[in-house]
A and B are shown apart, each in its own frame.
Chain A
Amino acid sequence: MLQRLRENKSMQGTLLALPTTLWLFVLLIIPLFLTLVVSFGQRSPDGDVIYSFGLHNYIRLFGYSTDCANGQASCFDPLYVNILSRSLSLAFNTTVIVIMMAYPLAYFIARSNPNRRNMFLFMVLIPLWTNFVIRVYAWMMLLRKEGAINIILGWLASGFNVIFAPLAGWFPEMAGVFHINFVPLELLYTPGAVLVGMVYEFLPFMILPIYTSLEKIDNSLYEAAADLGANAFRTFLRVTLPLSMPGVVAGTILVFIPVMGTFIVSDILGGRQVILVGNLIQRQFLDARDPTFGSAASLILMVMTLIVTYFYTRKFGFGEEIIAA
């Protein structure tokens, strides 16, 4: 029997891959399929699933509502569409900002002294290894009315006041200009707070792939460009940037997809004010207890993410630098 196995290479492969494939089939494929099935169902009175077939959940997601203001039978309720578009735009904005912040740092590390490079990379990795939840909490502390940011702004304001106090004295009519009445800013529980939180969470995921692809650029390419007459700016535009694109692409995928689905950042930093798709889904499964609606939302989220990723990778390729570790 062993000899038969020895001769059958295909069987060997199947056996080796079987545990993983089975595991994923049960815990990934079946759940996805089940989510689809449940999304067509109806909510039972105690929050469970009644298996049936109907598109009501999807219709509801895209705005069809029977609970209308002026007694109409049906109307368009943009609530859920807004949530979806808000998530999309947040993911997009986050990605753009992250790229703008990550690129200079990645460039800096890639062009730094090779001896120091590991240390610089290390410094990027440490926040990454700090737990996700803790990092969000840290921003919560910073952004509160009594948090560090407001404190610093307050100091700046009083500093300003102190410096310009004499001027306020000499020109009493213009006292308003020379004196700031600082009121602590409501930074927390705003869309801005959520954006900052998302950027903070996912910044390292963009730094590493961009660094990897920049680091691969041979120094002789820069020398060749200079030899052929390109100045620093044009070298960057025509040589460095295009060659670093795989890293940017990989990083985008590592940022965009999670941002679409994260609910914890908006939960803690956005409070009840900022609701993203993730929060919507989370609540359907825990608070409002309509798993059918939540499943539908989850599927829509997955489809949206896959569509964006598909078109993106078709245009830009699928940066192989995904494995940065």
Chain B
Amino acid sequence: MTSEFAVELRDVVKRFITPEGNELNAVDHVTMQIKNGEFFSMLGSSGCGKTTSLRMIAGFEWPTEGEVFIEGKPMGHTPPFQRKVNTVFQSYALFQHMTVYQNIAFGLEMEGAKEDEIKKRVGRALEMVQLTGMERRRPKQLSGGQQQRVAVARALVKTPDVLLLDEPLGALDLKLRKEMQLELKALQQQLGITFIYVTHDQEEALTMSDRIAVMSKGRVQQLATPVEIYERPVNKFVADFIGESNFLDGKIKSISKDEAVVHVPALNAELKGMPMSNNFVNGEEVAISIRPEKVRIVEHGTKGDGLFKAKVLTSVYIGSDTHVYVDLEGIRLKVMEQNRISRLDPSSFYSKDQVVTLLFMPENTLVLKKD
């Protein structure tokens, strides 16, 4: 009964008619394969299609085109109560008129489980989220964090194949959110079931996920592990959305499998970098991305390629890092340096109008398609 993938979306489209009468593809030809037992995230800002995709997996929406597969079976128009997936809602959706126990027991009741079994399983679920003893409380009497755990327990008590989580930590304050992130990750690893997690918080996605699907305008921009997404973004959107990037415009001068030579008009120089796409052509206009922490400030007089002189605009001390904003031939760049040495000595700061030498290393200079 098992298939290779826990959940699969094949060329799924979800089309809506806007109030003005136009057609809008909220999900635009999305294909993804989510593996059994992985922690999979869909990351993007509002309106990118991540929530709609999740809802189609859960069964609250049906695809306009394409198909959703769960455990290899096409779902078609199967309603949610016939799918072996469960959801943790953004607003928790705890039944206000029921106690915690009744909330968690609800799903088991629907399965027709017997009283003793329900009691046992509810008890175990509460243990799992560390809320033993709260059975008779009502949702209104719980804190945000507690409500969130009840929502998780309610979904997990049914031992689904896949757990869907729709921005579950959005309503919590920072400290609690970070705690819950760790707890959820630990829970997933302990239970070994597939988690599909929707969020707009990239740090959250990067911390918790085995793989991430970065989405924008209804399309999957990149689907890869956190490290790949961060270090090797495939296009300008992903490079810009994840972390921070410095961008330069350029034209391909020569291209090979592992190296691209790009002419940057603004610097009147050439940069060597890593091509992030397979189909660049000579003369193509591209975007170059270099992350702030990858730009090195080196001693004047260093010899080699990729060295440029720039003027310091301002320097911001963050504590563990220093952010230096420089002017390179009229382009404003951000450089981030870890404060490996203490900055107590004022002369160790970068002062305004000071000239520094920047080093761009080819393996960190990414050549991206301009979209």
Q: How far is the CB of A182 from chain B (nearest CB, A)?
A: 66
Q: Does A216 contact B (CB under 8 A)?
A: no
Q: Which 3 A-B pairs rank lowest in CB-CB distance, beginning with the nearest?
A: A7-B77, A6-B79, A3-B77
Q: How far is the CB of B175 from chain A (nearest CB, A)?
A: 33
Interface of A is mostly: helix
Interface size band for A = under 10
Interface of B is mostly: loop
- List the A residue with the shortest CB-CB distance to B76: A3
Q: How far is the CB of A275 from chain B (nearest CB, A)?
A: 52
Bound together, the chains give a CA A6 to CA B62 distance in angstroms of: 12
- List the A residue with the shortest CB-CB distance to B77: A7
Q: How far is the CB of B139 from chain A (nearest CB, A)?
A: 28
Q: How far is the CB of B364 from chain A (nearest CB, A)?
A: 52
Interface size band for B = under 10
Task: Kindly list chain A residues whose C-beta atoms are within 8 Å of the C-beta of B62.
Answer: 7
Bound together, the chains give a CA A3 to CA B77 distance in angstroms of: 9
Listed in ascending order, the chain B residues whose CB lies under 8 Å from chain A are 62, 77, 79
Bound together, the chains give a CA A7 to CA B76 distance in angstroms of: 11
Q: How far is the CB of B305 from chain A (nearest CB, A)?
A: 63
Task: Kindly list chain B residues whose C-beta atoms are within 8 Å of the C-beta of A6.
Answer: 77, 79
Convert A110-134 into 0s and 1s, putting 1 for each residue whose CB lies closer than 8 angstroms to a CB of B.
0000000000000000000000000
5 sampled A-B residue pairs with Cβ under 8 A: A3-B77, A6-B77, A6-B79, A7-B62, A7-B77
Task: Kindly list chain B residues whose C-beta atoms are within 8 Å of the C-beta of A3.
Answer: 77
Convert A299-315 into 0s and 1s, putting 1 for each residue whose CB lies closer than 8 angstroms to a CB of B.
00000000000000000
Bound together, the chains give a CA A94 to CA B79 distance in angstroms of: 58
Q: How far is the CB of B281 from chain A (nearest CB, A)?
A: 48
Q: How far is the CB of B357 from chain A (nearest CB, A)?
A: 59
Task: Kindly list chain B residues whose C-beta atoms are within 8 Å of the C-beta of A7.
Answer: 62, 77
Q: How far is the CB of B186 from chain A (nearest CB, A)?
A: 39
Q: How far is the CB of B74 from chain A (nearest CB, A)?
A: 15
In the complex, which residues 1-24 of chain A have their Cβ closer than 8 Å to any Cβ of chain B?
3, 6-7
Task: Kindly list chain A residues whose C-beta atoms are within 8 Å of the C-beta of B77.
Answer: 3, 6-7
Bound together, the chains give a CA A86 to CA B62 distance in angstroms of: 62
Task: Kindly list chain A residues whose C-beta atoms are within 8 Å of the C-beta of B79.
Answer: 6
Bound together, the chains give a CA A3 to CA B62 distance in angstroms of: 13
Bound together, the chains give a CA A7 to CA B79 distance in angstroms of: 10
- List the B residue with the shortest CB-CB distance to A2: B79
Q: How far is the CB of A12 from chain B (nearest CB, A)?
A: 13
Bound together, the chains give a CA A147 to CA B311 distance in angstroms of: 100
Q: How far is the CB of B80 from chain A (nearest CB, A)?
A: 11
- List the A residue with the shortest CB-CB distance to B78: A3
Bound together, the chains give a CA A7 to CA B59 distance in angstroms of: 12
Bound together, the chains give a CA A3 to CA B81 distance in angstroms of: 13
Q: How far is the CB of A7 from chain B (nearest CB, A)?
A: 6
- List the A residue with the shortest CB-CB distance to B79: A6
- List the B residue with the shortest CB-CB distance to A7: B77
Q: How far is the CB of A183 from chain B (nearest CB, A)?
A: 67
Bound together, the chains give a CA A7 to CA B61 distance in angstroms of: 10
- List the A residue with the shortest CB-CB distance to B62: A7
Bound together, the chains give a CA A50 to CA B247 distance in angstroms of: 88
Bound together, the chains give a CA A7 to CA B62 distance in angstroms of: 9
Q: How far is the CB of B82 from chain A (nearest CB, A)?
A: 11
